[in-house]
Copies of this chain bind each other. A is one copy, B any other.
Amino acid sequence: MGEYKVLEIKKSVFENNDREADILREQLKGDKTFLLNLMSSPGSGKTTTLKRTIAALKDEYKIGVMEADIDSEVDAKTISETGVKAIQLHTGGMCHLDAGMTKQGLEGIAADQFDFVVLENVGNLVCPAEFDTGASKNAMILSVPEGDDKPLKYPLMFSICDCVLINKIDTKSVFDFDDDAVVERIKRLNPKAEIFFISAKTGEGMEGWFNWLRNQINEWNK
């Protein structure tokens, strides 16, 4: 517990990222490893959400976590303290991960030993949305302090995510945030998106997210 390694990943050499992503997804399917690509702005609460999620699911699944960051090892250290295997991916300045980079991370953590692997992508609402990582499903976090207008400004991110978590609902008293407006804006971009209102800090509202994940993992790995 509390151990992790740091992997310096290299820029991908594959010209056709979409094809590379499809190959990776097939491989994950064959290995019965569900890969979740988790995206958000910096500071939306990805790591705190992950800690709660790991605590809820770690007796049911073998979980591994890949923490992608430009620099620092803060997140891998935090996650490794939950008792699951974590690896820190340093992207060497790159603002996103593509399928080739994700593959390096999966090899680094020996992903085929896990039922459920999370890729915590670089904190960025723009670039990660443009590159298919090969993940089984994409999820994102929007936090209340960021504002309910974000689907208008970063539409691609909201369009490509299977699940949107609205985090930090415990701080609503100090922000103007319109729940109905944000749901309407997300659904207009992406009618099939699952949306859960949560507080990763207090745990409020997280059971729906855990159940959504259980369904996705069980479906993928059956």
Q: Which residues of A contact B (CB under 8 A)?
A: 41-43, 69-72, 74, 93, 95, 122-127, 130, 143, 145-147, 149-150, 152-156, 168, 170-171, 173-175
* Cβ contact within 8 Å between B125 and A126: no
Hey, which chain B residues are within 8 Å of A125, CB to CB? 42, 123-124
User: How many angstroms from the CA of A145 to the CA of B152 in the assembled complex?
Assistant: 21
Identical chains bound together, number:
2
Nearest B residue to A170 via CB reads B174
Asked if A126 contacts B130 (CB within 8 A), the reply is no
* B contact residues around A93 at 8 Å (CB): 130, 156
Q: In this complex, what residue of B is CB-closest to A126?
A: B95
Cross-interface CB contact of A74 among B42, B127, B146, B149, cutoff 8 Å: B149
Find out whether the CB atom of B124 lies under 8 angstroms from the CB atom of A70. Answer: no
Q: Would you call A72 and B41 a contact (CB within 8 A)?
A: no
* A64 to B: closest C-beta gap in Å: 21
- Could you tell me the distance between the alpha carbons of A15 and B150 in the complex, rounded to whole angstroms? 32
Quick check: B72 and A145 within 8 Å, CB to CB? Answer: no
B72 touches A153 (CB 8 A): yes
Closest CB-CB distance, A142 to chain B, in whole Å?
A: 8
Chain B residues near A70: list those with CB within 8 A: 126, 153-156
The minimal Cβ–Cβ distance linking A165 to chain B, given in whole angstroms, is 15
- Chain B residues contacting A43 (CB-CB under 8 Å) are 41, 143, 145-147, 150
Question: Roughly how many angstroms separate A71 CA and B149 CA in the complex, as a whole number?
Answer: 12
**Residue pair B124, A95 in contact (C-beta under 8 Å):** yes
B contact residues around A145 at 8 Å (CB): 43, 143, 145-146, 168, 171
* Neighbour of A153 across the interface among B71, B95, B150, B154, CB < 8 A: B71
Pairwise interchain contact B124-A155, C-beta atoms closer than 8 A: no
